[in-house]
Structure 1
Amino acid sequence: MGAVIASLFAVFAVLFGSTGAMAAPLAPATTSVTAGTSNAAAAAVVVTSADGKNYVIGTDTTFAPFEFRDSSGEMTGIDMDLIRAIAEDQGFTVEIRSLGFNAALQALSSNQVDGVIAGMSITDERKKIYDFSEPYFESGVQMAIAQNDTEITGYESLKGKTVVAKTGSEGETYAKSIAEQYGFTVQSLDQSATMYESVKSGNAVAVFDDYPVLAYGIAQGNGLKTVTDKVPGGSYGFAVNKGQNPELLAAFNDGLAKMKADGSYQALLDKYLAEPKNTSGGSFFDLLGQSLPALMKGLGNTLLVTGISFIFAMILGLIFGFMKISQNIVLRGIATTFVNIFRGTPLLVWAFFFYFGIPQITGQPVSIWVAGVLTLALNSGAYVAEIVRGGIQSVDPGQLEAARSLGLGYGKSMQRVVVPQAFKIMTPSLINQLIIMLKDSSLLLAIGFAELLYQAQQIYAANFRVTEVLIIVAVIYFIAIFLLTKLANYADRKYNR
């Protein structure tokens, strides 16, 4: 292994260690972008049948009872059962992508999904961007507090306090509309489970959320209680991009009308809302047994995306690392720019750019695996480049001079003398970078990548046992990183004697 890497170092040393210029990069391919249709054009669209087609549907991750994962890991809930029943009736198929509410809307805007069903309120602002189905649920907002709280009795008790609400939700809109009147501050969070934990931990005194979501959570033992009556709210609708997929919208409306007429729609609501079933019981070991299959799947995805990304990061790091020590000012400038850009910007920004931004620019969807690997590889490649540069420059310059004085060429001197010493210096830093990359992979949950922490969120979104699930995840991360570190150190001792 060490000899192979040393040979790679030597190749890059020959390519970038001299003043020779590189070949010019290929020009990017030109891609046309189709603009959204106007209202008049949308009206002229001929609605074809959705029969036989497959649609990708984006949804939330933590909005029980509308969407959540059951003990087998299957997405379930009112929204999920509804879209599947309509799909079966109308003859099309659906692929569900559990992304999170904001990420699902971004995925829809970038055409990564064909539609979104996620307890989404129909508003005038959203109607400018999306086409909505007929309403399938009439919502409302309630306020809840910690079960043992005796101070907060209503809105009047909130003066000077902080409350939480879900970003982009009806609860957030209502809370902000009365915040000035009652003198409280609204903090917006992205997940229902996180909001409830904030209230139980005392970081906020109350939560504003949709009444069926609160009712379901309380039935699962989330530690809250409601203290206000339901405030009538808006309507939930299924959304597609404006002027796109009219046949899907028509099929949804037709299927919904049939379900309301034959009573299956009301039976579906009663299943989750009439008497919510408590699924959060059991001991810690029961929870561990139920959660482990999904968490192991997440761990497998975490290790795989980390491994693939690290290989590309090493290649990039070698290229740009040798470019940084090149005598060619152009090569040094290119390498410095690459390192500064990817070390100086947050990893999460690139994850969103690759998964949501590029499809909007090119008009072509990007695989979530491709987006994840690009994000981790480019970010870590910048750090590896600096490790390579530092390692090469840490070798005493006299070593290269001595090798050259013995008649060895530049390439051979680097391969036989400098690179082996530099690799020994770099190895601990490279191992550390691999561990950092493994932990950074958890940020990919923001784009819906099914890594370990994402799977954990899916679990506690349904049972609200946040602390216990996160303890299990922390132990899994610790064991994985401990074993990976031991393996890397063994390889270091074996190949760098």
Structure 2
Amino acid sequence: MKKNLLMLFTLFIALFTITSVKADDKPVKNNYRIASDSLFAPFEFQNSEKKYVGIDVDLLNAIAKTEKFNISMDFVGFQTAVDQTQAGHADGMIAGMSITDERKNVFDFSDPYFTANATIAVKKGTKNITSYKSLKDKTVGVKNGTASQEFITKNKDKYGYKVKVFDAADTMYASLGTGSIDAFMDDEPVVKYAILQGQKFETPIKPEKIGEYGFAVKKGTNPELISMFNAGLAKIKANGKYDKIVAKYMGNEASDDKKVDESTMIGIIKNNWEQLASGLGYTIALTLISFVLALIVGIIFGLFSVSPSKFLRGFTKVYVDLVRGVPLMVLAIFIFYGIPNLIESITGHTSPLNDFAAGVIALTLNASAYIAEIVRGGVNSVPTGQMEASRSLGVSYVKTMQRVILPQAVKITIPSLVNQFIISLKDTTIISAIGLIELLQTGKIIVARNFQSFKVYGLIAIIYLIVILALTIFARRLERNMK
């Protein structure tokens, strides 16, 4: 009897365990937001049809289809994907991320889905670099936050080379072309894909095994995602789908982008004008909304700074000094990542902030501090005798400011305010640090596909120049009319 009871109890525990495991493998959300890189061909990049493709993209889509869960992918750049996953903005990330002990302290990883080798690349035809020893006194480029960086930094003193760190592959590749670096280390598949796309590189040194790639979630969150990814990965490896995906992007025919000629400026415009227009639209919208808000806030604080109230003057001084003392990029990152993390630590609930809204807030705060000083300078430039004369006639301080001082101050400050608007327009490029795809980030995405960095960035510079020249002409006419 006891033996039968024991067997029944054991069977019950086994069934409960199996049920629990299966429950863990089921999606608990209707849709999972997955962050990824945007400039890491052949793992994730935009093809000539403006669709994100690559090994990581196809693998994750195949796994999601196999395991029957829904995903939406945001291609925001590697470091931004890391930050967004840590901050809870994304449920997980896949971006050619090497599994390391340090990262395991922050993330939970899936089973490895790709073995990563890194290789040294040099200009085609380079004769004097054949080993790590021949890199002595030379400059080696590497991307920030990668396993290649860890390897290169670790062996710097051993081989006697200098290290230059880059945020993105396109600028690193361009630096090799211009001679500002002598070589770079990057993941072998990435370098091979670049060569297939026409980059004049060669790899004279045997590749180094630097680790394995894994799908990651924030530590302690979304365990079902890891379970589903692992189960799906095992299935697509077993049925051959995995090998087909890898061969699609790393075989000899892995050149998707020869369909459209983007070797000329005309070809780039013809194939990307809608994408560039969208990036410009985001840039202008971001500038206009933030500047209008900054104008309101800046005028209020500017008037506070010339107020008879000592408290208001002191409060304004603290605000202006505090905001101007923080770089815009740091401010944007703090608003987008820091504030939601602070709220989560206090309330226990994740409250992600939209990247556009975070960009507007950062630009508004930054510009308002400078506008406050512009307003203060404009008011102080009006002769003090006019204030005294008005007050001696019995006119109140507020009416004197409205009818006497401010009309003159407005004329004085217009050139400076237009200049601040132009600065805000150019500052939108900094907001791409939090993943917003404005005009510059759009250019980076195009370059990641066609490697035409000089032409693409030259085109973007021309677009900015046209917009800023139009604003300058408008400002001069406005100034003449006001006079």
Q: TM-score, normalised by structure 2?
A: 0.90
Matches within 5 A, 1:38-437: 47=24, 49-50=26-27, 53-275=30-252, 276-277=254-255, 279=257, 281-284=261-264, 285-363=266-344, 364-437=351-424
How far has the Cα of 1:44 moved from its partner?
11
Q: 1:358 to 1:44 in 2, by over 3 A?
A: farther
Question: Which residue is equivalent to 1:3?
Answer: none
How far has the Cα of 1:84 moved from its partner?
1.7
CA RMSD, 1 decimal: 1.8
How far has the Cα of 1:48 moved from its partner?
5.7
Q: What secondary structure is seen at the aligned counterpart in 1 of 2:385?
A: helix
Q: What secondary structure is seen at the aligned counterpart in 1 of 2:115?
A: strand
Distance in 2, matches of 1:117 and 1:488, equals 47
Whether 1:475 and 2:462 are equivalent positions in the alignment is yes
One-letter amino acid matched to 1:241: K
How far has the Cα of 1:416 moved from its partner?
1.6
How far has the Cα of 1:401 moved from its partner?
2.5
Distance in 2, matches of 1:123 and 1:45, equals 28
Distance in 2, matches of 1:193 and 1:372, equals 24
Aligned residue-pair number: 454
Q: 1:473 to 1:366 in 2, by over 3 A?
A: same
One-letter amino acid matched to 2:42: P
Question: Which residue is equivalent to 1:34?
Answer: none
Q: TM-score, normalised by structure 1?
A: 0.88
Q: 1:394 to 1:266 in 2, by over 3 A?
A: same
Q: What secondary structure is seen at the aligned counterpart in 1 of 2:202?
A: strand
Question: Which residue is equivalent to 2:3?
Answer: none
One-letter amino acid matched to 1:331: L
Provide, for residues 32-60 of structure 1, a one-character-per-residue CA deviation record: whole Å limited to 9, x for no partner: xxxxxxxxxxx999726217621111111
Q: What secondary structure is seen at the aligned counterpart in 1 of 2:465?
A: helix
How far has the Cα of 1:255 moved from its partner?
1.5
One-letter amino acid matched to 1:315: I
One-letter amino acid matched to 1:481: I
Contact in 1 for aligned 2:48/2:256 (Cα 8 Å): no
How far has the Cα of 1:471 moved from its partner?
0.4
Question: Which residue is equivalent to 1:9?
Answer: none
Structure 1 stretches (4+) deviating beyond 6 angstroms? 43-46
One-letter amino acid matched to 2:257: T
Contact in 2 for aligned 1:219/1:278 (Cα 8 Å): no
Contact in 1 for aligned 2:96/2:214 (Cα 8 Å): yes
How far has the Cα of 1:400 moved from its partner?
2.1
Q: 1:152 to 1:128 in 2, by over 3 A?
A: same
Provide, for residues 130-159 of structure 1, a one-character-per-residue CA deviation record: whole Å limited to 9, x for no partner: 111111111111111012422222212111
Distance in 2, matches of 1:122 and 1:92, equals 24
Segment drifting more, 266-275 vs 402-411: 402-411
Q: What secondary structure is seen at the aligned counterpart in 1 of 2:257?
A: coil
Segment drifting more, 188-197 vs 343-352: 188-197
Distance in 1, matches of 2:165 and 2:23, equals 41
Segment drifting more, 288-297 vs 457-466: 288-297
Matches within 5 A, 1:25-40: none
One-letter amino acid matched to 2:301: F
Whether 1:440 and 2:427 are equivalent positions in the alignment is yes
How far has the Cα of 1:162 moved from its partner?
1.1
Segment drifting more, 99-108 vs 347-356: 99-108
Q: 1:94 to 1:72 in 2, by over 3 A?
A: same
Contact in 1 for aligned 2:43/2:95 (Cα 8 Å): yes
Distance in 2, matches of 1:407 and 1:73, equals 67
Q: What secondary structure is seen at the aligned counterpart in 2 of 1:141?
A: strand
Contact in 2 for aligned 1:142/1:229 (Cα 8 Å): yes
Q: 1:291 to 1:148 in 2, by over 3 A?
A: farther
Distance in 1, matches of 2:477 and 2:72, equals 43
Whether 1:487 and 2:474 are equivalent positions in the alignment is yes
Q: 1:330 to 1:46 in 2, by over 3 A?
A: farther
Whether 1:453 and 2:440 are equivalent positions in the alignment is yes
Contact in 2 for aligned 1:51/1:90 (Cα 8 Å): no
Distance in 2, matches of 1:44 and 1:399, equals 81
Unaligned runs of 5+ in 2: 1-19, 345-350
One-letter amino acid matched to 2:67: Q
Distance in 2, matches of 1:255 and 1:136, equals 11
Provide, for residues 296-327 of structure 1, a one-character-per-residue CA deviation record: whole Å limited to 9, x for no partner: 11000000000000011111111111111112
One-letter amino acid matched to 1:307: L
The higher relative CO (CA closer than 8 Å, separation ≥ 6) is in: 1
Distance in 1, matches of 2:278 and 2:125, equals 37
Contact in 2 for aligned 1:196/1:224 (Cα 8 Å): no
Q: What secondary structure is seen at the aligned counterpart in 1 of 2:315?
A: helix
How far has the Cα of 1:73 moved from its partner?
2.3
How far has the Cα of 1:208 moved from its partner?
0.7
